[in-house]
């Protein structure tokens, strides 16, 4: 049972927009910044979004994110087949005194 | 270019010990906070713990499931961070990644596989 709650799976067709939610609490998402990772099969995670909404250099602007209260969301527009991956949200938890991850969302591009 | 290379993964018996290493290059290691994250087979990512830079005290924090059994240390002159794992349990079976970055976990190693099995 992960501290942050994500839907286990989602899907979309090429060109479509999909959103992945991440639900937390007052001790984590509400008071700390959210980070998102993309993990392609058999590879290490890749930083996708940091500080709630910021994209590292090289991440396409098709990826965007937002945060409100105890929840955060990652949006992917203009879906491409190469976006098929697992997506994780993460943040610091003040009560647990450590980083917490969502359980991950498997994105399938139909 | 920042590179992180983990090593030391192996098959270990329950109750046994193992030490993972992560060698970093392409960054000013002495200022880097180094973190270990693991991923059990077919499961999600789990934070294991971190060590701050020596200039910021070099203190460590650990996730509850590993606290008291795992120890993170660093050797700045060798650009290396270690994860000493004692009292291993079956549920510690995972790929162990080291990660770091000034804007969050921007850099990751390829991972080191630890299998705990009789």
Nearest chain B residue to A46 by CA: give it. B106
Q: Which is nearest to B71 in space by CA: B91, B97, B51? A: B51
**First CA to last CA across chain B, in angstroms?**
40
| Tokens read off for A96 | 């647990």
At A64 the pLDDT is 98
Q: How far is CA B105 from CA A44, A68, B17, B55, B65, in A?
A: 11, 22, 27, 20, 21
* pLDDT tens, N- to C-terminus, chain B (118 residues): 999 999 999 999 999 999 999 999 999 999 999 999 999 999 999 999 999 999 999 999 999 999 999 999 999 999 999 999 999 999 999 999 999 998 889 999 999 999 999 9
Residue B76: what are its φ and ψ, rounded to 5°? -65, -30
What is the average per-residue pLDDT within A16-36?
A: 98
Query: Is the CB of A44 less than 8 angstroms away from the CB of B97?
Result: yes
Query: Is the CB of B101 less than 8 angstroms away from the CB of A96?
Result: no
What is the nearest CA distance from B45 to chain A, expressed in angstroms? 7
Query: Is B33 in the A-facing interface, judged by CB distances under 8 Å?
Result: no
Query: Is the CB of B61 less than 8 angstroms away from the CB of A97?
Result: yes
* Beta bridge partner(s), residue B112: B96
Q: For chain A, what is the mean pLDDT?
A: 97
What is the nearest CA distance from A100 to chain B, expressed in angstroms? 7
**Token pair 């969301």 is at which residue?**
A73
């Amino acid at each position: 049972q992960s501290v942050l709650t994500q839907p286990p799976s989602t899907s979309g067709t090429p060109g479509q927009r999909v959103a992945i939610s991440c639900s937390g609490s007052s001790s984590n998402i509400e008071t700390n910044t959210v980070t998102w990772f993309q993990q392609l099969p058999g590879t290490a995670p890749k930083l996708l979004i940091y500080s709630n909404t910021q994209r590292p250099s090289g991440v396409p602007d098709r990826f965007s994110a937002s945060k409100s209260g105890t929840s955060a969301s990652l949006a992917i527009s203009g879906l491409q087949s190469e976006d098929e991956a697992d997506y994780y949200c993460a943040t610091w938890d003040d009560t647990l005194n450590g980083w917490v991850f969502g359980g991950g969302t498997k994105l399938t591009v139909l | 270019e920042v590179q992180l290379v983990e090593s030391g993964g192996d098959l270990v018996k329950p109750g046994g010990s193992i030490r993972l290493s992560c060698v970093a290059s392409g960054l000013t290691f002495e200022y880097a906070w180094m973190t270990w994250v693991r991923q059990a087979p077919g499961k999600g990512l789990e934070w294991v713990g971190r060590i701050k830079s020596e200039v910021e005290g070099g203190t460590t924090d650990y996730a509850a499931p590993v606290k008291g059994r795992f120890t993170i240390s660093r050797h700045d002159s060798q650009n290396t961070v270690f994860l000493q794992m004692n009292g291993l349990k079956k549920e510690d079976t995972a790929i162990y990644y080291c990660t770091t970055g000034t804007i969050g976990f921007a850099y990751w190693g390829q991972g080191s596989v630890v299998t705990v099995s009789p």
